[in-house]
Amino acid sequence: MGKIVITVGREYGSGGRFVAKLVADKLGIKFYDKELIALSAQESNMSEKVIEDLDEKAAERFFYALPATGYIPSSSSDFNLTMNDKLFLLQSNVIRNVANKESAVIVGRAADYVLRNNAGVLNVFIHAPLETRVRNAVKNYGLNPVTAEKVVKKTDETRKKYYNYYTGKKWGDLNNYHLTVDSSLGTDATVDVIVAAAKSLITK
C-alpha cells in the first residue's frame, strides 16, 4: 500500500474524531489526535497539561494587529510569539515528522494547512446539522442538555479562530477540503466514503 496521510477537520459533536479512528483502523494506519500532545511535550519543555490547555486555541490579541494571512513567524525567538504560537509551531513540526514517516490519520490542528506542500494528503472535513451535534454531545460527552448548544457553538468558534488565524483561510470552507461529509448520513457511510477516497488515492 502506498503512503497516505488523511487530515480530518471536524465540527464539535459531529463524531469526526470517532469516524477518523475507525478510518485509521480500517486502513490499518496510525491515528493522531490527543497523541499529538504527548509527542509535542516530548519535544519541548512544555508539560502535557500546559499543552492541553493551549491546544487548538489562538491567543486573544488585543494589542497588536492580526496578520491578514497565515501566521508564519520568522523564528521561534520572535518576541511577539505567544505560548499558543509556540505550540502551533511545535505541533506543526510534530505533524510534519509524522507525515514524513508513516501513513496516518491526523485530527484537527490545521494539519491540512501544515501539510499543504506534501503529496499524498487527503483533506477531510466532517460536519453535521447543529441539532444533531447537540444531541450527540449530550449523549456521548455527557453535556448538560440546557447548556449543550452553547458549548457546541463555543467550541466550534474556538476551533474556527485557531484555524483561520494560523492558516489565513476559512475553517469549514469546502475549497480547503478534498472531501466534506455530513456525518448524519451515519457513521458507517461516513467511514466508507473516506476509506473509498483513500483507497482510490493510494492506488492512483
Looking at residues 42 to 71 of the shown chain, list those that interact with a second copy (rule: CB under 8 A). Answer: none
Residue 56 CA to residue 91 CA, distance in Å, equals 10
Measure the CA–CA gap between 52 and 37, rounded to whole angstroms: 7
Among 113, 125, 153, 155, binds a second copy (CB under 8 A): 125
Binding part of the chain for a second copy, among 61-69, 96-104, 113-121, 187-195 by CB under 8 A, reads 187-195
Alpha helices (runs of H) in the chain, residue ranges in sequence order: 16-27, 35-42, 48-54, 83-101, 111-114, 130-141, 148-167, 187-202
Q: How far is the CB of 80 from a second copy (least distance, A)?
A: 33
Q: Closer CB to a second copy, residue 80 or residue 187?
A: 187
- Span near a second copy by CB under 8 A; candidates 26-34, 48-56, 60-68, 119-127: 119-127
CA 97 – CA 203 distance, rounded (Å) = 23
Q: Is 178 in the site for a second copy (CB under 8 A)?
A: yes
Residue 182 within binding range of a second copy, rule CB under 8 A:
yes
Residue 109 Cβ, how far from a second copy at the closest point, in Å? Answer: 20
Q: Does residue 149 bind a second copy (CB under 8 A)?
A: no
- Running DSSP on this structure, what letter comes out for residue 66? P
Contact in structure between 86 and 78 (CB atoms under 8 Å): no
The answer to whether residue 174 forms part of the interface with a second copy (CB under 8 A) is yes
Phi, psi values for residue 138, rounded to 5°:
-70, -45
Contact 4, 10 (CB under 8 A): no
Q: Is 117 in the site for a second copy (CB under 8 A)?
A: no
Q: Can you say whether residue 154 is alpha, beta or left, with left for phi > 0 and alpha for psi between -120 and 50 degrees?
A: alpha
Angle, helix 187-202 to helix 16-27, in steps of 10 degrees: 50
* Closer CB to a second copy, 27 or 89, in the complex: 27
Q: Taking CB under 8 A as the rule, does residue 18 contact a second copy?
A: no
Verify binding: residue 177, a second copy, rule CB under 8 A. Answer: yes
Q: Is 129 in the site for a second copy (CB under 8 A)?
A: yes
Q: Interface with a second copy includes 75 (CB under 8 A)?
A: no
Q: What residues line the site for a second copy (CB under 8 A)? A: 122, 125, 127, 129, 172-175, 177-182, 184-186, 188-189, 192-193, 195-197, 199-201, 204
